[in-house]
Amino acid sequence: MLIAPTVPILPFKMGEKIDDPVALFLVDSNTVTSNLTEKPSISVPFEISHGLPIGIQLMAKPMQDKMLLQAAYALQSTVKLPEIPI
């Protein structure tokens, strides 16, 4: 199991950077690895910064989807985040 940040920067505020395609492309740079290597991955909320959630990404070996989901569930069960109003 590998743990990595989901995105390389703090989250944008709603509507911010929507007109900047390069900024939006760079946000996805950390999630491309699992797609290119065909490894299952999942992002789970981990922390709150300035009222916005920060996720971490878990990656597993190929065909280890069940273990990945169990790890994500265990992590999400242990991390207590405040409710975020939508």
pLDDT digits (tens, 9 = 90+) for 41-61: 999 888 887 777 788 999 999
**What's the confidence (pLDDT) of residue 66?**
96
Question: Closest by alpha carbon to 33, among 56, 68, 62, 59?
Answer: 59
Q: Which domain holds residue 53?
A: 2-78
The answer to whether position 32 is within a domain reads yes
For the cut 70, the answer to whether the pLDDT of residue 7 exceeds it is yes
Residue 85 lies in a domain: no
Q: What is the mean predicted confidence (pLDDT) over 4-10?
A: 84
Residue 31 falls within a domain, yes or no? yes
- On whether residue 69 sits in a domain, the answer given is yes
Average pLDDT, the chain: 83
Tell me which residue of 25, 23, 28 sits closest to 13, measured CA to CA.
23
pLDDT confidence of residue 83? 66
39 domain-assigned: yes
Q: Residue 86: inside a domain, yes or no?
A: no
State residue 59's pLDDT score: 95
58 near 68, Cβ under 8 Å? Answer: yes
Q: Percent of the chain scored above 70 by pLDDT? A: 87
Total domains in the chain come to 1
Q: Is 84 a domain residue?
A: no
Cα separation, 54 vs 75, whole angstroms: 14
Q: Return the pLDDT at 84.
A: 60
